[in-house]
Structure 1
Amino acid sequence: MTNQSRYPSFNVMNEKDEWDDHTQTIVTSRLKPSKSLHFLTPNEADMVKQISSLFVNDRSPEVLDFVLGHIDQTMHQSPGESQRKEGVPQAQELIRAGLQAIEQGVQSQYSSSFADLDRAKQKQYLQHISESVAKPQEIWNGIPQEALFRKLLNLTVESYCSHPKVWSEIGYAGPAYPRGYVRTQLGQLDPWEAQPEQ
């Protein structure tokens, strides 16, 4: 996030003693993402990190490292997919082939790697992928562009929005269990919730 937080002094981790042990373990682990890759190559990881940064308009290294770790682990563990449209490859194949197609497409169009493009051109190319109009078309044969875009976007957002730093920035005070909410009327805040500072 590049916009200034309305809760600049709020830190959700100050509330961790109110969570049960299991919740503390899960949330605290998000502050120390894995440094080793299990599925993505180093070049793929750099590209995923740049793409994720563009999706959420955030360059925070600790948050992007967590997002990258989540995507890599998800692809490595292969938990399966609840639904997948006909003609769309499995997630691992889609991501790997899609990242390769992005790199080849950018090389063909700009004579540059994706990593070396300025952010405006990176965004533009991703926009074309989201609309299934990225060129050159022959590079994308068999790779559904919109499905790739959605998969990368979904994986990014689900991990980004679960990082404690992001929680603090948006004023989310973390899990209410086992403490629970007391003030539940519209506009009321419990003492432990974030108070807008501006």
Structure 2
Amino acid sequence: MKNEVFIQYTSDLWKGEYFKNEKHFSSIEIGVSLDSQDQEVNLGLFLAKIIDYPCTVVLDGLFASEEDMEIKMKVIKSENNLLIGNIYSRSQFEKLMHNVYINAINGLGSSIIIGRKKKEIPFEHFLGYDLVNDVAFPNLLTEEIMTFLDISEVGISIRTLDEKINKPKKLLPLIPDNWTINLANSDLEL
């Protein structure tokens, strides 16, 4: 059975000073229910098409142990139980995909961040949490980021400067065959 998805522009919901003045990021939401086992495969196929390497993955440590993650990549654990690691290849990403999916379907989500000019973003930029402003990565700077992906149980949020994926219409060829586009609720005119 095919899963219906929509692709829409969104207003920028990023919190914190470091994103308020950045007008160049495209902000796109892909709404899709990730509640069945075959969706793990579809999500992995889609993400593999838009991720460049190296990239940084941030996962909640509830469903993945630091030891389990270290088998797949170099990882550090933050004070708020986040596991942060860099991925350098598609095969490394494929080994980690199950953890991304498990976090998503359990409401914890995952983030994948691709640096500008294919540069790694230092781990320390992902540490800390600004409780006053509810900002997850207060040390992360927009000038370091090419694409920021948030994967949750209801879909994927994309904030990007990447010309290959900066419009909903450009994402259409990347959508897995088992996902059907809800044309009435998608922004595909541009």
User: TM (normalized to structure 2)?
Assistant: 0.29
* Structure with the largest fraction of strand: 2
* Structure with the largest fraction of helix: 1
RCO higher in structure (CA 8 A, sep ≥6): 1
